[in-house]
Amino acid sequence: MTPPLDDPTHEILPPRYDWQGFGFDTRQVHAGEIDEPGHGARITPVYLTAAYRFDSFAQAEARFTGADDGQLYSRNLNPTHQVAERRIASLEGGAGAIVVGSGQAAITAVLLGLAGAGERIVSTASIYSGTRILFDRTFARLGVSSDYVRDARDEAEWDAAIGPDTKAIFIETIPNPKNDLVDVVAVGRIARRHGIPLIVDNTVATPYLIRPLELGADVVIHSSTKFLSGHGAALSGAIVDGGRFDWAGSSRAFPGLTDPGAGGKPSYVEAYGERALEAYLRFGIVNDLGAALSPMNSFLLQQGIETLSLRMERHLANAAAVAEWLDAHPAVESVDFAGLPDNPFHDIARARFGGHAGSVFAFTVRGGRDAAEAFVDALQVFSRMTNIGDVRSMALHPATTTHVSFPAEERERLGIGDGLIRLSIGIETVADLIADLSQGLDAATRRVGG
């Protein structure tokens, strides 16, 4: 029986919208949501609008001057995006976040926001090929130079690479495709010693596996097209501001963040405090570059994040099983997977990643390019494609695709050999994946006569 309306013992509690302190699985489903009073929609609506109506002349002025932080234009603020941003910030432990059109857009916005013409960034050499191309081609044309560290464990090499004009360190937690893990804690100490921010691409690991901001990073980047979304249906990128770097107190100049704004407005640091970088990128760099995300893609990103932990459990388990199987196969020369006990990065896997190494790694088939070609062409369950982080398993030959524009000597230094195959392990039944790899390796063996 329904209790009477005046029954003092009956209380109807409102839905919860503050998820601070709740578990990861709970926050990946709920964090960032706000009340939708119009119709009570349970799923975040897709706000397909370019701009927003102002209530008055005064409100329009206030929004353009920053006195009112309400909606202005979907190039920098959109209600659908804001839910995704708050959710990703919650999962990574950041002060705030901004979503953009792709992972490349996220990297571009952060690093060009910190370094200008005549300045430099320093990065590990073993990173996603598209990022290397971005640094060496487009950044170089804009006057931003890049220095590379070959051995991320060598502090002396980092110190030698960092100069007075270095404005940021960039690393990947799990580099693609070599799976040569980087110790965020160690690199974070180097960054703090030099007074520069540490920017970490956490795409392959995701916050399910490691949260770099808790380990000394200052900014986290995602190609959220990949594991955060998981479905492979839409491009997106994300930037998470850790909120702890002292932009004003650094010995290096970050004028975009610390200089007063036009018309005597306060600097981003003065106006936004711990969320200064997020605001600077949102209303400055990202707005100016136009790297806006479609609200529909933002909606699809949120749908993916809701199942992140469940998918990652299967990704990690399948990857470990496949790597162990490949490691024992006579047609395989080597396996670049830090989860294997004899891998040179296994100690980092244990110390920072709970013994895991993600689900994107490489292996080298015996017989070089001919064997690799036969292997790839014999696959039927694995998709021959360039993406990673999908629920579907994928295979690619880096030397003739992602790294084809690299000079031969640089490919050799990076370990991108003619027999190297990159795998992104999905969530299918692992026995089916191994059977498909087996028929591929059989074809490779027949091709080279061994």
pLDDT tens for 152-191 read 999 999 999 999 999 999 999 999 999 999 999 999 999 9
Half-sphere exposure of 107 (CA within 13 A, CB side): 26
Give ranges for CATH 3.90.1150.10 in the chain.
308-448
> Which of 267, 255, 246, 305 minimizes the C-alpha distance to 99?
305
What's the pLDDT tens digit per position in 341-385? 999 999 999 999 999 999 999 999 999 999 999 999 999 999 999
Residue 261, CA distances (Å) to 32, 67, 268 in order: 30, 13, 8
Beta-carbon-side half-sphere exposure of residue 396 (alpha carbons within 13 Å): 23
Residue 443 CB contacts under 8 Å (≥ 6 apart), including other chains? 374, 375, 377, 378
Using a 10 angstrom Cβ sphere, with 0-12 exposed, 13-18 middle and 19 or more buried, the burial of residue 6 is exposed
Helix or strand run (H / E) with residue 192: helix 184-194
Question: What's residue 108's pLDDT?
Answer: 98
Task: Please check the confidence at residue 79 and state whether its pLDDT lies above 60.
Answer: yes
In Å, how far from its chain's centre is CA 126?
16
Indicate if the pLDDT at residue 313 is higher than 60. yes
pLDDT at 77: 92
C-alpha closest to that of 71 among 434, 79, 355: 79
Half-sphere exposure of 354 (CA within 13 A, CB side): 11
Predicted pLDDT of residue 262: 80
% of the chain residues with pLDDT over 90: 90
Give the H or E element holding residue 332: strand 332-336
- CA-CA distances (angstroms) from residue 390 to 124, 217, 227, 395? 25, 26, 6, 12
Tell me the mean pLDDT in the region 266-280: 95
Has residue 1 got a pLDDT over 60? no
pLDDT range class, residue 5, cuts 50, 70, 90: low
The CB-side HSE value for 67 (13 A sphere, CA atoms) comes to 6
Average pLDDT, the chain: 95
The single-letter DSSP state of residue 133 is H
Q: What is the mean pLDDT of residues 15-35?
A: 92
- Kindly report, as residue ranges, where domains of CATH 3.40.640.10 are found in the chain: 24-305
Within 51-141, strands assigned E span 96-100, 120-124
Please state, in angstroms and rounded to a whole number, the distance separating the CA atoms of residues 247 and 291.
24
Q: What is the pLDDT of residue 4?
A: 63
Tens digits of residue pLDDT in 403-448? 999 999 999 999 999 999 999 999 999 999 999 999 999 999 999 9
Q: Note the pLDDT of residue 9.
A: 84
Q: How far apart are CA 92 and CA 83, in angstroms?
A: 14
Fold that domain 24-305 belongs to in CATH: Aspartate Aminotransferase; domain 2 (3.40.640)
Q: How far apart are alpha carbons 266 and 388 in whole angstroms?
A: 42
Q: Please answer whether residues 328 and 366 qualify as being in contact, where contact means their C-beta atoms are separated by less than 8 angstroms.
A: no
Identify the CA nearest to 388 among candidates 424, 437, 416. 424
Closest C-alpha to 292, from 123, 115, 74:
74
Give 222-239 as a DSSP string. E-TTTTTT-SSS---EEE
Where does the pLDDT of residue 34 fall: very low under 50, low under 70, confident under 90, or very high at 90 and above?
confident
Residue type, 166: T
Split at pLDDT 50, 70, 90, the class of 67 is: confident
Does the pLDDT value for residue 259 go beyond 80?
Answer: yes
Would you give the DSSP letter of residue 88? H
- Provide the CATH topology of domain 308-448: Aspartate Aminotransferase, domain 1 (3.90.1150)
pLDDT of residue 261: 86
Partners of residue 248 on adjacent β-strands: none
Helix extents (H) in 367-421 = 368-377, 408-414
The residue ranking higher by pLDDT, 263 or 428, is 428
Mean local confidence (pLDDT), 196-215: 98
Q: Which pLDDT score, from 0 to 100, does residue 265 have?
A: 87
